[in-house]
Amino acid sequence: MEYSKELRDMLLRNEVGIGNFSIDNEIINLKDATHILIAEIDRLQKLHEWIPVNSETMPEIDVDVLILTKAGNITIGWVCSVNGDWTDSSDDVTVTHWQPLPLPPQEQP
């Protein structure tokens, strides 16, 4: 079960205090809530870890991602559908790591 949105909302409303609180008609004590929050923090941190290009996890073809080059530069690149090679706008890149782009802001300007 995912509690992150509910816990976040409750924390923002200062509804989490000492004792127990209810989520989806379930009583959860603060120890359980702490474990849920730690798991959510771990999940979010993994979303922003650099993934080595020699790992089993690769991005979708032709989808922009952040790339770290052998030269130490961070830029946007993708795996090319034509030849399966990593590329960026310079077309001359040796990629060591990648990670998904962050989500755009939810609020519209």
The per-residue pLDDT for 96 is 95
The per-residue pLDDT for 48 is 76
The per-residue pLDDT for 18 is 45
Task: For residue 78, count other CB atoms closer than 10 A to its CB.
Answer: 19
Which structure tokens are listed for 101?
């782009």
Neighbour order of strands in the sheet with 51-52: 51-52, 95-100, 65-69, 74-79, 86-88
Which structure tokens are listed for 90?
């310079």
Give me the residues paired with residue 100 across strands.
65
Give average pLDDT by consecutive 10-residue segment, the chain, 109 residues.
59 53 56 76 79 91 94 92 86 87 80
Q: How many CA atoms lie within 13 A of 78 on its CB side?
A: 10
The per-residue pLDDT for 97 is 95
